[in-house]
Amino acid sequence: MSPFEEALSHAAQQSILKVVMDGRWIEPDYANRFKIPADLIRDIYGLVDREALKVAIGKRLEEELADRIVNALAAEIATDIKQILSVKERREEIREVARKHLQHIAKEGV
């Protein structure tokens, strides 16, 4: 390869690397995008059943709130259990009680 060809190849590689590193290789052309007419958007929104939308949002919010409450309670309980079990004497007492009950269950079957 001649020095010119090597320089040209190197310049092309550097140019491509710069485009990729700058993130310009994924650059949407907003000027030429398809425009939806405003009256069509208004008509579509007019067809939305707002009461059904409220019901659907309400159900989703109920589920989300229930999940968050359960997660918060679980975190609180886990913290309390860790604090209780952090004292060695308490931990041993709890193990002793658990062993007695497990032995009773093993013997009795229930």
> What are 19-40's pLDDT values in tens digits?
788 776 677 777 878 888 999 9
Residue 50 pLDDT grade (very low, low, confident, very high; cuts 50, 70, 90): very high
Q: What is the mean pLDDT of residues 37-46?
A: 94
12 pLDDT above the threshold of 80: yes
Q: Which is nearest to 94 in space by CA: 34, 86, 69, 12? A: 86
Euclidean distance between CA atoms 94 and 85, whole angstroms: 9
Q: What are the pLDDT digits (tens) for 81-103?
A: 999 999 999 999 999 999 999 98
